[in-house]
Amino acid sequence: MTYKLTTEEMGRLTVAEFRESAKLPLTVVLDNVRSQNNIGSVFRTADAFRVEHIALCGICSTPPHREIHKTALGAEESVEWSHHDDTAACVRSLKALGYKVFAVEIAHGSLKLGALPADAFGPGVKTAIVFGNEIDGVQEEVMALCDGALEIPQEGTKHSLNVSCAAAIVMWEMWKLKH
């Protein structure tokens, strides 16, 4: 018989334990994401994969915020985050710290998820992934600063996914590559 695990059986970390635990060497950069629900969903997924940091840039709302909390369900308390007025400045500072920075965008020469070279994204490589605004995507100025672009293969009629869905897919792929 199959049954759901209890919270105790799952062995989840407390917020304090999470903060002290080893993290996935990944920073998620949100470039002018306008929906607080999307921001909260990204926090929740970042918590699931123990992402080290979220950089909220430009018009992104910041915790504490009721709408972020609705979808983050407390992950805004566990995942480290910062706010930056300018996404390009944030990306420049990440690159100065040795991060490889990739936009998640359909672009010339983009790398398809599922076919990423493990040596470029594997253990020990510090990576930042930039997700753009729900309408306009990643700013061109920011794209020009990135080391490349990652693309989620899609076969339907639409050319994009909701930003929180895209973030979940990419974080999962990064988790697999770095473990």
Nearest to 50 by CA among 73, 71, 74, 19: 19
The pLDDT mean for the chain works out to 95
CA atoms lying within 13 Å on the CB side of residue 89: 8
State which residues form the domain around 158.
Answer: 21-177
Residue 104 falls inside a structural domain: yes
SS3 assignment for the chain: CCCCCCHHHHCCCCHHHHHHCCCEEEEEEEECCCCHHHHHHHHHHHHHCCEEEEEEECCCCCCCCHHHHHHHCCHHHHCCEEEECCHHHHHHHHHHCCCEEEEECCCCCCEECCCCCHHHHCCCCCEEEEECECCCECCHHHHHHCCEEEECCCCCCCCCCCHHHHHHHHHHHHHHHCC
The C-alpha R_g of the chain, in whole angstroms, comes to 16
Question: Given this model, what pLDDT does residue 8 score?
Answer: 85
| CA distance linking residue 21 with residue 112, whole number of Å | 30
> When comparing pLDDT for 70 and 116, which is higher?
70
Tell me: pLDDT of 7 over 90: no
Tell me: pLDDT of 117 over 90: no
Residue 15 falls inside a structural domain: no
For 121, the token pair is 């994204």
Residue 16 falls inside a structural domain: no
Cα 38 versus chain centre, distance: 11
CATH code of 73's domain: 3.40.1280.10
Residue 4 falls inside a structural domain: no
Q: What pLDDT digit, counting tens, does each position of 62-72 carry?
A: 999 999 999 99
Q: What is the mean pLDDT of residues 103-131?
A: 91
Residue 170 falls inside a structural domain: yes
Residue 3 falls inside a structural domain: no
Q: What percent of the chain stands above pLDDT 70?
A: 100
Residue 169 falls inside a structural domain: yes
22-26, 79-83, 116-120, 150-154: least confidently modelled range: 116-120
Q: What is the mean pLDDT of residues 69-89?
A: 97
Question: Given this model, what pLDDT does residue 118 score?
Answer: 81
* Paired sense of beta strands 111-112 and 81-84, if any: unpaired
Tell me: pLDDT of 159 over 90: no
Question: Given this model, what pLDDT does residue 120 score?
Answer: 82
pTM: 0.96
Question: Given this model, what pLDDT does residue 161 score?
Answer: 95
Residue 6 falls inside a structural domain: no
* Paired sense of beta strands 100-104 and 127-131, if any: parallel
Question: Given this model, what pLDDT does residue 5 score?
Answer: 93
Q: Report the number of distinct structural domains present in the chain.
A: 1
Question: Given this model, what pLDDT does residue 179 score?
Answer: 85
